[in-house]
Amino acid sequence: QIQLVQSGPELKKPGETVKISCKASGYTFTNYGMNWVKQAPGKGLKWMGWINTYTGEPTYADDFKGRFAFSLETSASTAYLQINNLKNEDTATYFCASGGLYWGQGTTLTVSS
Amino acid sequence: DIQMTQSPASLSASVGETVTITCRASGNIHNYLAWYQQKQGKSPQLLVYNAKTLADGVPSRFSGSGSGTQYSLKINSLQPEDFGSYYCQHFWSTPPTFGAGTKLELK
């Protein structure tokens, strides 16, 4: 069956870097783009952008341009979200989602000094 | 960017009741709208896509309707497992923004 499995929770300090993974299985990875969605504690869902898994071209929402980077390891059917120069406000759960139907379980990131 | 205005923000209802959640888009989204349910601590689950098509396995008590800029999700005869948060999301243009969410609580 189709699954997206994300990496485990992260605890980081401000200024550090984190890389979250999302491993897909059960379908042809390059057939569907991968979206990334942020959910801050107690808040709603915010679309961060997506990466074309066929071409590798990323698209970022305006609020996520600069410190955020999407990448792929196509041979491993895995997508990555990297956040550089972490800030307290990056504390959130991050979801990967393929086609709206399939979502990862979420990765909780806590940024605290 | 198209903004999605979702209402109500919260809703208190009893098992067996019927509730309706609405989303208004700031521009015509041509039925490119999805509805999700999210339980506490879980990932969102797709309920409806293309405004009115139920995702596989979604009970028929859920229904989506609307067109243009106005869309609704109706839940007939609420069941205990229906309580949680609901979000709309348009897919007409980039960015595909979400509504702010509706928290459906047990009365």
Residues of chain B with pLDDT under 50: none
B98 closest CA partner among A56, A24, A39, A5: A39
Q: Å from A74 to nearest chain B CA?
A: 24
Tell me what percent of the residues of chain B surpass a pLDDT of 70.
100
Tens of pLDDT, residue by residue over A67-107, are 999 999 999 999 999 999 999 999 999 999 998 889 999 99
Distance, in Å, from the CA atom of B3 to the CA atom of B96, rounded to the nearest integer, reads 9
Query: Both tokens of residue B102?
Result: 């509706």
A24-77 residue pLDDT tens: 999 999 999 999 999 999 999 999 999 999 999 999 999 999 999 999 999 999
With a cut of 90, say whether residue A14 has pLDDT above it: yes
The pLDDT score that the predictor gives to residue B107 is: 87
What is the pLDDT at residue A101?
86
- CB-based contact B101 A62, cutoff 8 Å: no
CB contact under 8 A, A45 and B96: no
Under an 8 Å CB criterion, which residues of B touch A? 34, 36, 38, 42-46, 49, 55, 87, 89, 91, 94-101
What chain A residue is nearest to B50 in terms of C-alpha separation? A100
